[in-house]
Chains A and B, each alone.
Chain A
Amino acid sequence: MNQTRPKYTNKTYPVMLGRKLRRVYVWELPVRVFHWLNALAIVVLCVTGYLIGNPPAIMSGNEASEQYIFGTIRFIHFAAAYVFFFNFLFRIYWGFVGNKYARWRNFIPTTRRYWKEMWEVMKVDIFLERCREHVSVGHNAMAGFIYFIFFLMSGIMVITGFGLYASMSTWWFPKLFAWVPGLFGGDFVLRNWHHALMWFFILFTIVHVYLVMYHDYVEGRGEISSMGGGWKFIEEAQFQEDLRDTEEQEQKKKKEAAHH
């Protein structure tokens, strides 16, 4: 068996030349919609949030009754926050019903294999070592774990944000968060946390966009466009290896199940 499926090793990258690429449907439509809604919401939230913290000096001959600029900025922030939140909830749901690449297991390290892959990614992508090219089809372990942190941060942003919003809302839902300011020691402290954590999202976005370009450039598998059509392209040899891997795992599972 192994002879017909040659092992893909660190020496093999020149062999990529002329190899057939396989199209893999990685990101389902709901995942793509989530991604872009999330991206849009984050950009809008960061821009309006920053402006709320540091409003621009507007010189205007208008009376206050004739304009509503800051009110509009705040409204956009709140509206985007709702989009961000419900989109976030949806993604959590999709983590339980979506395809293999969307499942929650991609984000939370539960196996030794996960940690091993994280270390592998560190070596290849951060220290730029010349070892076996990393070839996760969906999220690599490191990316998945960072997205997990991203999700935790999103949760904190949602809680602090609705906590601040609770006292000015008439809807019952934001009022569920009225306990939050007390936990942080008042609106002032809460607000500063909410503002400071915005920088996580800004830094995340910078690194995220760079790494997407990096992977596209180094691997040539359509990393950037995958969030458009949902496809990534992997070498046939890689495809076969992954297939063998999956088969092995399935068999292991069956054996274990039989054991019990």
Chain B
Amino acid sequence: MPATQSKRRTYYDELMERGYSRRDFMKFCATMAAYMGLEASGAAQISEALMTHSRVPVIWLHFQECTCCSESFIRSSHPIVADVILDKVSLDYTETLMAASGHAAEAAMHKTMEEHYGEYILCVEGSVSTFGGGEYCCIGGRSSEQILQETAEGAKAILAWGSCACNGCIQAAKPNPTRATPIHKLVKGKPVIKVPGCPPIGEVMAGTLLHIITFGTLPELDRVGRPKAFYSKRVHDSCYRRPYYDAGLFAETFDDENAKKGYCLYKVGCKGPMTYNACGIMRWNNGVSYPIQSGHGCFGCSEENFWDNGPIYRQMASFPGFGIEANADKIGIAAAAATGAGIAAHAIATNIRKRGILSSLQEEGKDAEEKLDNPLT
């Protein structure tokens, strides 16, 4: 099919061709509108956009990552999500799912980059290695950084999928041997939308992409660059165990009575109160569950540097330079004890070294006391 012709074809056309009914299509639009938090008219806006807009080409790059973002995406609750973006409808290049390989694949990517210069959306999964010549992550003989810079140049917008692309994730954890670098630190002058998580929720990824397709604009972002629709609340704010938190009822260990009763997992290290994500609302695997519902605390996978930020099963980070077991409280208590000892020593030394002045004060006081006691002597 010539490119000029495919450009005019809409998402709707493609989907009908693939055997979806209009009913399926409308259900998809309604589902996505709900996920994106749009008002009631949102479903109509989405359906209209998908019926009138020609497909937006997508290049999906994989760098230093585990492909869990792709896995999450293709498992999002509505099959059309995967079909719209991943299943050849829009996707012009992705190492994991495309049929082409080798030079043919590279050629396909370059064709998209040229024909749709300034139009395509660049999705990046994974971090970029900047150590040495970038030889720790090469595709087709070029480093991930080179590929990123080339593809970013003609991109309309860049979607940083997952924590790897947003903040480096586990590759960037200490000591970060490949100097894994997130996308926003390498790309200048292009909007980078961060969709963090390890992986991000499939519906969040789809919703972000769909927003760009539907409205032709970038979704509203927070200060860090994440779509506000999905990352403005903490996991804690929508947690169904929140009443136990407020009541002060906590599981002390994973197998105690309180854990069985479904109490809050705060004391076994849940990072929900510090993690901005939509897990509590959207949940995972078609809304079946999410970590807290499965009895394990949130470990903050969508937060920056979560691997280095401290123990998963405790609230308090270990204090830098004092070993793994030393948190701020233990050091604080030790410092308070040392201060107490110092004070005791100081008090004793004061009584010895300042005995002159102390005795004169005491003499004066006692003298007055005696005089008042026995005014006649």
Contacts and interface: CB of A to CB of B under 8 A. Distances in A.
B319 A196 contact: yes
Given A18-B364, A199-B332, A206-B340, A68 B353 contact: no
Contacts of A57: 250, 252, 267
Interface string A194-207: 01101100110011
B371 to A, nearest CB: 11
A188 B223 contact: no
Interface string B343-357: 100110110011011
Contact of A64 (B246, B353, B357): B246
Interface string B224-246: 10000000011001000001111
B interface majority secondary structure: helix
Contact of A203 (B275, B310, B339): B339
A199 B244 contact: no
A257 interface: no
Interface in A16-42: 16-18
**Contact residues of A: prevailing secondary structure:** helix
Contacts of B361: 16, 218, 220
Interface residues of B, number: 56
A207 B343 contact: yes
Contacts of B248: 55-56, 58, 60, 67, 69-71, 73
B336 A206 contact: yes
B347 A218 contact: no
Contacts of A189: 305, 309, 317
Q: Which of A18, A178, A188 is packed against the most chain B CB atoms within 10 Å?
A: A188
Interface in A183-237: 185-189, 191-192, 195-196, 198-199, 202-203, 206-207, 210, 214, 217-218, 220
Contacts of B339: 203, 206-207
A13 B252 CA distance: 61
B316 A192 contact: yes
A130 interface: yes
Interface of A: 13-14, 16-18, 50, 53-58, 60, 62, 64-71, 73, 126, 128-130, 133, 167-168, 178-179, 182, 185-189, 191-192, 195-196, 198-199, 202-203, 206-207, 210, 214, 217-218, 220
15 contacts: A16-B360, A17-B364, A54-B316, A54-B329, A55-B248, A64-B243, A67-B249, A71-B245, A128-B349, A130-B353, A187-B274, A199-B335, A202-B332, A214-B346, A214-B347
4 shortest A-B CB distances, which residue pairs?
A199-B332, A69-B248, A196-B328, A187-B274
